[in-house]
Amino acid sequence: MKSDHRIIGYDLMRTIAIFMVVAIHSNVVYLGRNQGSIGWFIVMELTAICLVSVPLFFMISGALLLDSDRIIGIRELFTRRLPKQFIPFIFWSLIYTILRIAMGKIPLSIESFAKLLYEPAYYQFWFMYTLLAIYLLLPVLQTMVSYLNQKQIEYMLILWFVFSIVVPSVSHFIDGFMISEHIDLILCEGYIGYFLLGYYLKKYKRKCKINMAVILTVVGILLTGIAAYVEWVYSINHKMKYVGYVYQSYLLPGVVVSVIGIFLIFQRLEIGHKSISKKMVIKLSELSMGVFYIHMLILIVMEHLGVSGEKSILILGVKTVLIYVLSLIGTYIINLIPVLRSALLGRRT
C-alpha cells in the first residue's frame, strides 16, 4: 500500500501493539514471583491493558486483506503471500530451536526440529501458527465477505462474541458452565473473529463518533482490569492456585470492547502527508515484525545475565524499553543486508 493512500492509524496501532507485546513478555518473570504485592497488582493491570496488542494485529490484517476489491487467488497465496510471511518464520523457528539446544533446554535431535510442525520453537510463535491457518482460508474468506451484507457480518460477530468470548470467560469462573463441544462454529471461533472484526470496523464504522470510541476503550480496560483482580480474589478465597487466566488470554469481553474502541480511534487518525512524524510512524511500523521475532532473543540473553526486573517496577520498565529499542536496532541492521532482509523479514526492497 502506498503511503499516500495508507491509513496511518494502522501503522501507529501496529507500532504500539508490538511494544505492548514486548511489555507482556517482559513482565512474565515479575508476575510469576511477586504475587500479592502492590507492585504485582500494578504490573498485572498494565499487562491486562496490553492484551489488546495481539487482537490489533489480527484486526489490522483483516481490515487490509478482506476489504479489498481484488480476491487473492490460490496460486498467488502459495507463491507470494505465504512465502513472504512464513519463510522468515521458518528461519526464526530454526534460530530459536538452535538457541534452546545450545542452552541445554532441549536435546540435539531430529525430534527437536520435527516438533516445529506442531509445537512453536518459542511460546510467542503460537501467533504465526494461528496466522497461517487464517491465511490458508484467505481466498475463501475474501469471497465470503464480498457476498455478505452488514447485518450478516454482524450476525457472525455476535456468534463469535457469544461462543468464543463470553462462554469460555464465564466457564472459567463458574464451574459446570459450558456448552456442548459438538457446537463447532469454525468460521466464528477464536482469532478469526478479530480478523472479521477488523474488516467490519473498517468497512462500516469509519465515521463512528470519537466520544463513543473513547468510552468503549475505557470501559473495556476497566472490565479487563476488574476481571484480573476478581480472578485473584477468587483464587485466594477458594484456596486455589492462581493461574493468571485473565492477563494471559486475548479472548475476553473487556479486551474485545477496548480493542474496538482503540481501533475506531486510530483508524480516524490523520497526520500531515509530508510530516516527519508520519514518516517515523511508517518506518517503525515496517520494523514491527522484526521486533516480534527478535525481542525474545534479547529477553532471553538479558535474563540469562540476571537482568530480570523481578524486584523493581522501575527496572522492569527500563528493561522493556531497552528490549524494544535493541529489537528495533537489530531489525534495522537486518534490513540493511539484502540476503538477511529477504530470509528473516520477507522483504525484497
pLDDT digits (tens, 9 = 90+) for 28-81: 888 877 677 888 888 888 888 899 999 999 999 999 999 888 889 999 999 999
Residues of the chain above pLDDT 70, percent? 95
pLDDT digits (tens, 9 = 90+) for 288-322: 999 999 999 999 988 888 877 777 888 889 999 99
Mean of pLDDT over the chain: 88
**What pLDDT does 228 receive?**
84
Question: Read out DSSP for 86-112?
Answer: HHHHHHHHHHHHHHHHHTTSS-SSHHH
174-183, 261-270, 276-285: lowest mean pLDDT where? 174-183
What is the pTM for the complete model shown? 0.92
Helix locations, 238-348, DSSP H: 253-266, 276-286, 288-304, 313-336, 338-345
Cα separation, 299 vs 301, whole angstroms: 5
**What pLDDT does 182 receive?**
65
Residue 257 has pLDDT above 90, yes or no: yes
